[in-house]
Structure 1
């Protein structure tokens, strides 16, 4: 009887733990990625300089991931279209390793171990980018797979390759393929990787078998890792599947500093409104549809697309982008060169109300789309709500805003404008609101205790 009772108590206790343990990425990840400012060319010195700014200026506001994007294994990244001269490096087991000429702390087969430690010592989390698959050069050399009896030729699917990146072969969905990904994730765990962005896997093409292998490898490695799938647009029909396997997945192709796109690439800010509205219902702790990085501030010295430049989004367009991302609960991953942060961009990144909407809201939704005016609402803890109005048109709009029109009930709120800080007493409307062309207005609305906000 005692044994049975003990087993019952243990079972109940285990259930409580299982129910209360936070998932990986319980809130949308926030941080910085090197791609928009450095493309393939980021060096250790540049990365550390950005990490320093991230840790001192932005971490207090929740920005805590520092991610090295594509190309870290290339000696000559500017020759990336020519793999024979880009100088890609692999170890004895066919896994990419950092180019020591660019990342000197990787000397002696240390990989990103020291960088990972230093990022963690700064109170941040460390991420890297890979393209799915196994290096073609590993297959040519038929390198052994660490920890197994397999070799690279057993792993590689030489009829499958990323259509826009010629460096790898796909990985077979077999024991050898799993062993290779297991080896890769053990390596990354040793480097202290907290976020893994995997490219050419979420769309064009969608490779769910490789996603599953990577997920299993993460679990075997024993280190919590945010799995980020790229690029998009991930198909809505795959929503449940990617939600089981990853913490974030791209809902569009690459977003750049373009307000309205005239071509299919890159994606524009305005093109995201329909996408985030379609995906919002899938956002929950551990599952975050990803609207892509924020190409704000200085996109230099070597952005992943286009010439070095200051973001071409206007101030109003920049506010609209980050506000939409926050209302939709997208991950917030900044692309700016942090060592060149200007005052305006900084104000976008340290707005606590906006960050709270992104990190703590529930039930975010598009509630109205009338012509060029789009409205979103969100519920927050403490009887608080957010209302955002977006003007995607080319002329300003002036209007009286009644909260009840947007499904917020006929009660009254204490109102605070998120961007200019102006406040109003208990009211059910704001008169004479000007929503700039390409701009937005967003309010925090707090209800009084015991007030029936949905009543007549």
Structure 2
């Protein structure tokens, strides 16, 4: 089912708890379920999802975050603390997914664990209460659970081909891979898994056995990672075993009838858009936003997602799926590695792009500025329209993106991605408008009055401005 977010029925200047039945033309457009579900028939994926993901905290080298070595942040105590903040503070703004990324089946030394059916098992040192307890904890708080898997059969799960497949008598891991044990996926020089042979029905049964396990936890999202073409794998160069479209199609079939969002990652190949649209709910458009350094991200890492999105214009929407720009690390200034202007620019762009909005920060450490960004219901409402913005003109450090709302008004983002302050201008001609238009600065919550012909602003390096444009004519 589509999420209806009461907090979006808010006029500028009102708090999240104050609603208005008659917002003015320049106010945030209230997102109703009817508007959000257009063309989707009420499908659960009719809007970009909102939530939180663990990987940015696992990946950072910020002092004290991963005290037991790389990726060690992920454990039961840390995860429950994030769930509590999400449920008690951020769910009222629409954030509902808790995405547990890589490592939930790894010990502290990153050694994997599997059950006798070659399925990943929760590491009980990390999660003493087990995944079923975590899943219940998530759902009891009205949230949704996301989990992570790499594409292919993990090499450690092969077990000399002797592991039986759950619910598939006669099938073993020897049946679901090629005899030559060819590697696949985007991890390491040769990948971290064996390519699966979907000409054998046992392979499909193996994926179905994983879905059976997910059903025990009521999983709501699956991130399938290291998928090619993409993830720095080109089948024409690396070999056809790095083409994971058969895997993705098989996962699509295994998940048929399940309300489980399927995300494929990372930096997917645009040439295969039709496949991502046919088999998935969202696809990563660029590399990781994490810098794998002493902060969460960097301007360079975050900006690459902005640059990459230009190649995916026209790809996304409620009927096809979502361009996924990766995690948002904009909530904790000391850790994010971004200036306040950069943090606002990143959140603005993700919102305009109709990307899923999932936070990567430690939610227990949000600063006032970060909280003001991620709880701005008007900006979240722009994202939840599910209308990906279009770019005016070609790619350059000075960019203008816009979308048209159902009431005929426009939302326009002006971006200065360069290293120095610059004027950023847009003419009404470029937006298909004529005459004058009433403008409003969304972040400043300030009316800018009527403007003839266009608008221009001097914007600092890596900065942005988000405005609504209510035209008098077209």
Measured against the shorter chain, the TM-score band is 0.7 to 0.9
Q: How many residues align?
A: 401
CA distance in 2, matches of 1:23, 1:319: 31
Q: 1:83 matched to which residue of 2?
A: none
CA distance in 1, matches of 2:40, 2:331: 39
Closer/same/farther in 2, CA of residues 258 and 126 from structure 1, 3 Å limit: same
Closer/same/farther in 2, CA of residues 94 and 18 from structure 1, 3 Å limit: farther
Cα displacement (A) at 1:96: 0.5
Q: 2:251 matched to which residue of 1?
A: 214
Give the number of the structure whose residues are more often helix, by fraction: 1
Cα displacement (A) at 1:387: 0.9
Closer/same/farther in 2, CA of residues 236 and 119 from structure 1, 3 Å limit: same
User: Relative to structure 2, which stretch is displaced further, 333-342 or 160-169?
Assistant: 160-169
Cα displacement (A) at 1:366: 0.3
User: Relative to structure 2, which stretch is displaced further, 419-428 or 62-71?
Assistant: 419-428
RMSD: 2.4
Match of 1:95 among 119, 135, 140: 119
Q: 1:69 matched to which residue of 2?
A: 101
Cα displacement (A) at 1:382: 2.1
Matched, 1:433 2:457: yes
Q: 1:175 matched to which residue of 2?
A: 201
Cα displacement (A) at 1:133: 2.2
Matched, 1:258 2:294: no
Cα displacement (A) at 1:354: 1.7
Match of 1:185 among 196, 211, 217: 211
Matched, 1:236 2:259: no
CA distance in 1, matches of 2:274, 2:51: 26
CA distance in 2, matches of 1:20, 1:407: 27
Q: TM-score, normalised by structure 2?
A: 0.79
Cα displacement (A) at 1:259: 2.1
Match of 1:45 among 65, 77, 92: 77
Where in structure 1 are there 5+ consecutive unaligned residues? 1-16, 81-85, 107-111, 261-267, 300-308
User: Relative to structure 2, which stretch is displaced further, 173-182 or 35-44?
Assistant: 35-44
Matched, 1:334 2:359: yes
Query: Is the contact made by 2:165 and 2:209 (CA closer than 8 Å) also made in structure 1?
Result: yes
Q: 2:54 matched to which residue of 1?
A: 34
Matched, 1:145 2:142: no
Q: 1:25 matched to which residue of 2?
A: 45
Q: Secondary structure in 1 aligned to 2:323?
A: strand
CA distance in 1, matches of 2:249, 2:288: 24
Closer/same/farther in 2, CA of residues 146 and 351 from structure 1, 3 Å limit: same
Q: 1:362 matched to which residue of 2?
A: 387
Closer/same/farther in 2, CA of residues 18 and 146 from structure 1, 3 Å limit: farther
Q: 1:294 matched to which residue of 2?
A: 328
Query: Is the contact made by 1:317 and 1:439 (CA closer than 8 Å) also made in structure 2?
Result: yes
CA distance in 1, matches of 2:331, 2:159: 42
CA distance in 1, matches of 2:307, 2:289: 14
Cα displacement (A) at 1:235: 1.6
Where in structure 2 are there 5+ consecutive unaligned residues? 1-36, 60-70, 234-241, 291-296
Q: Secondary structure in 2 aligned to 1:57?
A: helix
Cα displacement (A) at 1:24: 3.6
CA distance in 1, matches of 2:446, 2:469: 12
Structure having the higher Rg? 1
Matched, 1:198 2:224: yes
Q: Secondary structure in 2 aligned to 1:269?
A: helix
Match of 1:325 among 334, 346, 350: 350
Match of 2:128 among 89, 100, 104: 104
CA distance in 2, matches of 1:180, 1:213: 10
Query: Is the contact made by 1:402 and 1:428 (CA closer than 8 Å) also made in structure 2?
Result: no
Match of 2:151 among 132, 142, 145: 132
Q: TM-score, normalised by structure 1?
A: 0.82
Query: Is the contact made by 2:352 and 2:388 (CA closer than 8 Å) also made in structure 1?
Result: no
